[in-house]
Chains A and B, each alone.
Chain A
Amino acid sequence: MMPLAIPIGVCALAVLVLAIDLVPGTGPRRGAAALAAAGLAALFVATWFVPSGVALSGAFENDAFTVYVQRIVLGAGVLAATGMIDHAERLFPRRHGEYLLLLLASTCGMTLLPGAKELITLIVAFELMGVPLYAMAALHKGTTIGNEGAVKLYVAGAVSAAITAYGLSFVIGATGETMFSVVRPGEGPMIVLGALLMLAGMAYKLGAVPFHGWVPDTYQGAPAPFVAFLSVAPKAAGLAGMARLLWEAFPRTADRWTPILLALAILSMAIGNALAIPQSNARRLLAYSGIGHMGLLLLALLMGRGSGLEAMVFYLATYVAANMGAFLVAEAVEADGGGEIAHFNGLARRNPGLGLALLLFLLSLGGIPFVAGFWGKMVLFRNAWLAGYTWFVLAGALVTVVGLFYYLRLGRAVYIEAPTNTAPVATGGAMRTAIVLAVLVTVGMGVFPTPFIEAAAAAGVAVGR
Chain B
Amino acid sequence: MTAWILFVLVAFGTLVSAVMVVRTADLVRAVLWLAASLVATAGLYALLDAGFLAAMQLLLYTGGIITLMLFAVMLVRRGPEAPTAGLIANPGRALTASLAVFGLVAFTVAEAGLPTEPGAGGSPSAKLLGQVLLGPLALPFEALSVLLLAAMVGAIALARRKDPEE
Q: A: which residues have CB within 8 A of B?
A: 4, 7, 11, 14, 18, 55-57, 59-60, 93-95, 98-99, 101-102, 105-106, 108-109, 112, 118, 120-121, 123-125, 127-128, 131-132, 134-136, 138-139, 170, 174, 176, 178-179, 188-190, 192-193
Contact = CB atoms under 8 A, between A and B. Distances in A.
Nearest to B149: A105
A4 B153 CA distance: 24
Contacts of A14: 146, 150
Nearest to B156: A98
Nearest to A119: B140
Contact of A128 (B146, B156, B166): B146
Contacts, number: 107
B143 A124 contact: yes
Interface residues of B, number: 30
A192 B140 contact: no
A60 B108 contact: no
6 contacts: A59-B139, A94-B166, A121-B140, A128-B147, A132-B150, A135-B155
B157 interface: yes
B6 interface: no
Contacts of A121: 137, 139-140, 143
Nearest to A21: B153
B105 A59 contact: no
Contacts of A138: 158
B154 interface: yes
Contacts of A101: 150, 153
A124 B109 CA distance: 27
Nearest to A96: B157
Given A121-B143, A131-B147, A102 B153 contact: yes
B163 A94 contact: yes
A131 B151 contact: yes
B146 A135 contact: no
Nearest to A58: B136
A98 B153 contact: yes
Given A55-B139, A94-B163, A135 B104 contact: no
Nearest to B135: A57
Q: Which 4 residue pairs are nearest across A and B when measured between Cβ atoms?
A: A135-B154, A105-B150, A98-B157, A124-B140
Given A18-B153, A101-B150, A108-B146, A59 B138 contact: yes
Nearest to A57: B136
B111 interface: yes
Given A105-B149, A135-B153, A139-B158, 5 more contacts: A118-B137, A121-B139, A124-B140, A128-B150, A131-B147
A139 B139 contact: no
Contacts of A135: 150-151, 153-155, 157-158
Most chain A Cβ neighbours within 10 Å, of B105, B137, B147: B147
Contact of A189 (B112, B119, B157): B112
A141 to B, nearest CB: 10
Contacts of B137: 59, 118, 120-121, 178
A56 B136 CA distance: 7
B118 to A, nearest CB: 13
Contacts of A60: 139
Most chain A Cβ neighbours within 10 Å, of B119, B143, B149, B154: B143
B111 A102 contact: no
Nearest to B122: A176
B113 interface: yes
Nearest to A125: B143
Most chain B Cβ neighbours within 10 Å, of A93, A106, A128: A128
A120 to B, nearest CB: 5
A136 B155 CA distance: 10
Contacts of A56: 138-139
Contacts of B22: none
Given A57-B135, A57-B136, A109 B143 contact: yes
A112 B157 contact: no
B65 interface: no
A287 to B, nearest CB: 23
B37 to A, nearest CB: 15
Contacts of A178: 136-137
Contacts of B149: 105
Contacts of A124: 140, 143-144, 147
